Amino acid sequence: MHLYFSPTSPYARKVRAVLLEKGVAFDGIDVAATVHSPSAHNPLGKVPTLVLPDGTVLFDSTVITETIDALHPEPRLIPEAGLERARVRRWEALADGLCDVLVPVVLDGRRPVEHRDPEYTAKQEAKVRAVLAYTDYFVTGRRFLEGGSFTLADIALVCSLGYVELRRPDLLTGHQATQGFCARLLERPSLTARIPPNLPLRA
Ligand SMILES: N[C@@H](CCC(=O)N[C@@H](CS)C(=O)NCC(=O)O)C(=O)O
State CA 124 to chain mean position distance: 18
Domain that holds residue 87: 82-192
Number of domains the chain is built from: 2
Would you say residue 200 lies in a domain?
A: no
DSSP E strands, the chain? 2-5, 27-30, 49-51, 57-58
Check whether residue 99 and residue 169 sit in a common domain: yes
b/e string for 76-95 if b means 16 or more Cβ within 10 A?
A: bbbbeeeeebeebbebbebb
71, 106, 121 - which closes a domain: 71
Check whether residue 66 and residue 108 sit in a common domain: no
Query: Does pTM surpass 0.85?
Result: yes
Q: Is 92 in the pocket of ligand 1 (CB under 6 A)?
A: no
Closest residue to atom 14 of ligand 1, CA basis: 46
pLDDT, tens only, 127-183: 999 999 999 999 999 999 999 999 999 999 999 999 999 999 999 999 999 999 999
Would you say residue 136 lies in a domain?
A: yes
Beta carbons of 101 and 128 less than 8 angstroms apart: yes
31, 51, 71 - which closes a domain: 71
Check whether residue 44 and residue 23 sit in a common domain: yes
Q: Is 160 in the pocket of ligand 1 (CB under 6 A)?
A: no
Check whether residue 36 and residue 118 sit in a common domain: no
Check whether residue 90 and residue 183 sit in a common domain: yes
Check whether residue 66 and residue 107 sit in a common domain: no
CATH of the domain at 55: 3.40.30.10
pLDDT, tens only, 22-66: 999 999 998 988 888 999 999 999 999 999 999 999 999 999 999
Residue 15 CA: nearest ligand 1 atom is 20
